[in-house]
Amino acid sequence: MDAVVDFMSIVAIVAGAAFFAAGTIGLLRFPDTMTRLHALTKADNLGVGLVILGLLPRAGSITAGIKLLLVWLLVLFAGAIVSQLVGRVASREPPR
């Protein structure tokens, strides 16, 4: 049982790291601000989400687990707000 949990935890962490790689590549390679915003939110939402999912079994206590989930929720929320607001500013200027 422990081995299964460990395995899942490692899979989730590696997948999370992969989303960060995807976010970076998107941020560097995509042609304009809006598409870059799209790449960024994947790293925000799924990258951090999967990393935290992988860390949950190692959290050690219920409180620590709840705080980890709260971190993810806050990151999700911040990502949503930032993409709305920055997207609004970017859409008012002509694309460069």
Partner 1 sequence: MTFVPGAAALFILGMVAIGLLRALRGPRDADRLLSVQLLGTGAIAALLLYGVPSGDASAIDVALTLALLAAFASIAFVKAAGGYDDEPS
Partner 2 sequence: MIDALNAGIALLLLALGAYAVMAKDVFAALVGYIAYGLLLTLAWMQLRGPDVALTEAAIGGGLTGAMLIAAATRLRDRDAAARAPMPGIGARVLAATLSAVVASAVAWSVASLPEPAATLAPQTLAAMPALEVGNPVTAVLLGFRALDTLLEAIVVVLALIGVWSLAPDKAWGGRLGRLQHAQPDGMLAYAARILAPIGIVIGMYIFWIGADLPGGKFQGATLLAAMWLLVWMAGLTDAPAVDRRWLRAMLVAGPLAFVAIGVFGAVQAGAFLAYPAGLAKPLIIVIEIALMPTLTLVLALVLVGPPLREPER
Binding-site ranges for partner 1 (CB under 8 A): 6, 10, 13-14, 16-17, 20-21, 23-24, 27-28, 33, 36-37, 40, 43-44, 47-48, 51-52, 54-55, 58-60, 64, 67-68, 70-71, 74-75, 77-79, 81-82, 85-86, 88-90, 92-93, 96
Residue positions counted in the chain: 96
Task: Choose the contact partner of 40 out of partner 1, partner 2, none; CB within 5 to 8 A by kind.
Answer: partner 1
Tell which residue, 64, 42, 56, has the closest CA to residue 13.
56
Written as six digits, the tokens of 22 are 């995807």
Q: Determine the angle formed by the axes of helices 2-29 and 33-42, rounding to 10 degrees.
A: 170
Stretch that binds partner 2, among 15-23, 31-39, 51-59, 83-91 (CB under 8 A): 83-91
Classify 96 as helix, strand or coil.
coil
